[in-house]
Structure 1
Amino acid sequence: MTRSFVCRSFAASLGLMLVFHYSHAQLGGIIRKAQNKLEQKADEAIDNSISGKDDTKAETADTGTAKKRISMSAGFDFKAGDSVLYASNFEKFSTGAMPNTWKTNGSGQLVKSGDVAGTWLELQNGATYKLAQNYKLPRNFTVEFDLLTSCDKITDISPVSFGFAENNSVASFDEGDIAHTQLEFFNSDKITSFAGPVDKYVNTDYDLTRYANDKLHVSMVVTDDQMKVYLDKTKVLDTRMFKADARKYFFISAPLKADNDAKVYISNVVIAQ
């Protein structure tokens, strides 16, 4: 082995030792820095906890959590007409009778309940009801009435329709219907409004389950060819539903069928101008 080779080997070994020593020192420095940062964050967290500082906003931003949903309300803008054209006043009639101010293609009777105040017209399945007085409604008017159900569950009841016909005949179910809103109780959360002459169909989500064995107040506004419908204080329709100068007669149609002896009643009908 030559002296030159020994020198070269020693130089190489010394170089590796220096590199290892430098790398180890560098690694140790990195570890120390990381440890110092962790200790600093821990100290800051303790300080914030003691001082009462809140980092919720920062955490919200980091996680992308949404703020509370904005709530909007249009209020209840329905206003009944000043001059009453018709009021049902069912309490003036004998129970068990069909009030002579109404006509139908089926039957009906006035009933009372110990659970709900007032006198109610019990609707017969498959029957349509119109006012006996044979005159068309004015261009602008309002209609209000209460609807009551008696059932095991709301889905036992087929749709109930109310709206306007072009004539006052009750020769058949929904005779002369030109525009109506339908409460699809059997679907539990659907309302449809339909006007054939103007090719209008509106489908609206609305929870109907709450009206099982409870009262629903319906308010309607007709202004020329525009029709608005409110269920309690929620507007579910506001659109053009009539041709110009269309004749309008109010009607309400009972369900075609109801399961488990479910019943539908109406009362407090008021039409005003």
Structure 2
Amino acid sequence: MKTSFVGKILLIFAMAFSMNSNAQFFKKLAKKAEKAAERTVERRVENETSKKTDQALDSILEPGSSGKQAPKAPENTGNGNQGNSGNGTSIPETSESTGTKAIQVYSKFDYVPGDKLMFFDDFAFDFVGDFPSKWNTNGSGEIVTLGDSAEKWLELISGYRLYYIPDVPQLPEEYTIEFDLMNVGVDNKTSSNAILRIDLSDDDKFQEGSNFVHANISFCQYTPVGITMESRINNRRDIYSTVKADLREEIQNRPHVSIAVNKQRFRLWVNEEKHIDIPRIVPIGEVLTTLKFHMNGFKDGTERVFISNLKVAEGGIDLRRKLISEGKVSTNGILFDVGSANIQPQSMGIIRQISQVLQQETSMNLKIVGHTDADGSNESNLSLSQKRAEAVKNALVSIYGISSGRLSSQGKGESEPVGDNGTTDGKAQNRRVEFIKQ
């Protein structure tokens, strides 16, 4: 069949359009490949740097290990295992919930928790299946366990104007907040609107309040959404901004969130990295009295979020100045893995401050004393406290270059409690490390 003149013209246009489309397609594909290659190089550099740091510090944080720690089930920060009671839900571990990030030491991590404990809850005294006794809500929620771990978590429910309020005393002008997060079912289909919001509010019930600060942490996996900050002063919006942050990997590996409020200043870290540092976002004075958590944008029943180890402490005291002026500081902000002397990475801000004092005061010597709560036997707690004090000493020597001859370590186990070992708060106060000038 002969092709008409018009048909030939149309065929030529079609071929040209197809060639142009293909050219555009391959050009876009090349750009994507180039960007992917750049990201691969960046990740390899980061991985190699991380490996070198880990290898240098394994002898401190993971005695007897020559490499990174294998992924494991979540553990609490106490010195003994907490048993579960009741017949509540135990969430099977899945690829989204297994393993914590292998321990890394963040020598430049500058977060330091408050020195006066106001609230701590790891749900140790709550029954699995119940709502925790030290929290309030206008919705629902229950204590669960994940996999074979005995650690307990509060499952938060997503909903419009649904709040979770821990029984934290009225917030002062300077304080810190810390907690751990886990999830099940969060994947590449999770909405970009799926967020956990940390609220500081002047309303102590289930409203936003006339004055507030909101920090929105996104759980979206298909694109980096960032952290959105919002504040209101006397019912008028003061700040609304989104800070660039790619938290996708952190969200899938039990992120530890740390917040420091120093009068008007608000800072937020996820794991070792500081993402938010706004100098004037908090209303002046002790206006924001209540801490709340709010979740929204998640698929009910399939995308599940859990919180544990919430710690709120009044603070702002510079440990360096206190050590120099008083010759002694005590802190429960140096955390260890359960039943071991492995230092948790979020503790490095305190150890860093101690190293700065020793670097400045070259004639100062320190004794490091470890204390535990009363879980376990006297003998095991005494041994554990000694190992933890020695681990802190080794960190000062190997990470910050302090001479070992200037440091000594001692363990006192459970022999000198400062809080009631029959309560969660008291046990958290008793798990502490002291630095004493010699």
1:219·1:230 contact (CA, 8 Å) conserved in 2? yes
**Aligned-partner SS, 1:210:** helix
Residues 110 and 259 (structure 1), Cα distance of their counterparts in 2 relative to 1, 3 Å cut:
closer
**Aligned-partner SS, 1:92:** coil
Q: Following the alignment from structure 1 to structure 2, what is the Cα–Cα distance between the partners of residues 177 and 120?
A: 30
Q: Following the alignment from structure 1 to structure 2, what is the Cα–Cα distance between the partners of residues 181 and 115?
A: 32
Q: How many Å apart are 1:117 and its aligned residue? A: 5.7
Q: Following the alignment from structure 1 to structure 2, what is the Cα–Cα distance between the partners of residues 221 and 101?
A: 22
**Aligned-partner SS, 2:130:** coil
Residues 248 and 263 (structure 1), Cα distance of their counterparts in 2 relative to 1, 3 Å cut:
same
Which entry has the higher C-alpha Rg, 1 or 2? 1
**Aligned-partner SS, 1:91:** coil
Q: How many Å apart are 1:76 and its aligned residue? A: 1.0
2:122·2:153 contact (CA, 8 Å) conserved in 1? no
Does 1:264 find its partner at 2:300?
no
User: CA offsets per residue over residues 149-206 of structure 1, 9 Å max, x none?
Assistant: 1115055151111130112102x5x566610111122364121111122611231222
2:282 aligns with: 242
Residue-pair matches, total: 201
Q: Following the alignment from structure 2 to structure 1, what is the Cα–Cα distance between the partners of residues 210 and 143?
A: 26
Q: How many Å apart are 1:209 and its aligned residue? A: 2.0
2:118 aligns with: 85
Residues 195 and 116 (structure 1), Cα distance of their counterparts in 2 relative to 1, 3 Å cut:
farther
Q: Following the alignment from structure 2 to structure 1, what is the Cα–Cα distance between the partners of residues 306 and 241?
A: 25
Query: Of the candidates 205, 219, 223, which is equivalent to residue 169 of structure 1?
Result: 205
2:203·2:210 contact (CA, 8 Å) conserved in 1? yes
Q: How many Å apart are 1:116 and its aligned residue? A: 5.5
Query: Of the candidates 201, 204, 210, which is equivalent to residue 249 of structure 2?
Result: 210
Which residue identity lines up with residue 143 of structure 1 in the other structure?
Answer: I
Query: Of the candidates 161, 170, 186, which is equivalent to residue 136 of structure 1?
Result: 170
Does 1:111 find its partner at 2:144?
yes
Q: Following the alignment from structure 1 to structure 2, what is the Cα–Cα distance between the partners of residues 261 and 206?
A: 25
**Aligned-partner SS, 2:215:** strand
Question: Could you state the TM-score of these two structures normalised by the residue count of structure 2?
Answer: 0.42
Residues 85 and 139 (structure 1), Cα distance of their counterparts in 2 relative to 1, 3 Å cut:
same
Q: Percent identity?
A: 25
Q: Following the alignment from structure 2 to structure 1, what is the Cα–Cα distance between the partners of residues 215 and 281?
A: 11
1:149·1:265 contact (CA, 8 Å) conserved in 2? yes
Q: Following the alignment from structure 2 to structure 1, what is the Cα–Cα distance between the partners of residues 188 and 274?
A: 21
Q: Following the alignment from structure 1 to structure 2, what is the Cα–Cα distance between the partners of residues 74 and 196?
A: 35
Which residue identity lines up with residue 81 of structure 1 in the other structure?
Answer: G
The structure with higher relative contact order (CA 8 Å, sep 6+) is: 1
User: CA offsets per residue over residues 8-59 of structure 1, 9 Å max, x none?
Assistant: xxxxxxxxxxxxxxxxxxxxxxxxxxxxxxxxxxxxxxxxxxxxxxxxxxxx
Q: How many Å apart are 1:258 and its aligned residue? A: 2.2
Which residue identity lines up with residue 105 of structure 1 in the other structure?
Answer: N
Q: How many Å apart are 1:214 and its aligned residue? A: 2.6
**Aligned-partner SS, 2:258:** strand
Listed as ranges, the gaps of 5+ residues in structure 2 are: 1-41, 50-105, 315-438
Within-5 A mapping of 1:1-273: 75-114=108-147, 118-126=151-159, 127-132=162-167, 135-153=169-187, 155-156=189-190, 158-170=194-206, 172=207, 174=208, 178-186=212-220, 188-189=223-224, 190-197=226-233, 199-211=238-250, 213-239=252-278, 240-245=280-285, 246-258=287-299, 261-273=302-314
Q: Following the alignment from structure 1 to structure 2, what is the Cα–Cα distance between the partners of residues 250 and 148?
A: 20
Listed as ranges, the gaps of 5+ residues in structure 1 are: 1-67
Which residue identity lines up with residue 306 of structure 2 in the other structure?
Answer: Y
Q: Following the alignment from structure 1 to structure 2, what is the Cα–Cα distance between the partners of residues 117 and 129?
A: 23
Q: How many Å apart are 1:96 and its aligned residue? A: 0.4
Q: Following the alignment from structure 1 to structure 2, what is the Cα–Cα distance between the partners of residues 115 and 209?
A: 25
1:142·1:219 contact (CA, 8 Å) conserved in 2? yes
Residues 202 and 116 (structure 1), Cα distance of their counterparts in 2 relative to 1, 3 Å cut:
farther
1:182·1:191 contact (CA, 8 Å) conserved in 2? yes
**Aligned-partner SS, 1:199:** strand
Residues 155 and 218 (structure 1), Cα distance of their counterparts in 2 relative to 1, 3 Å cut:
farther
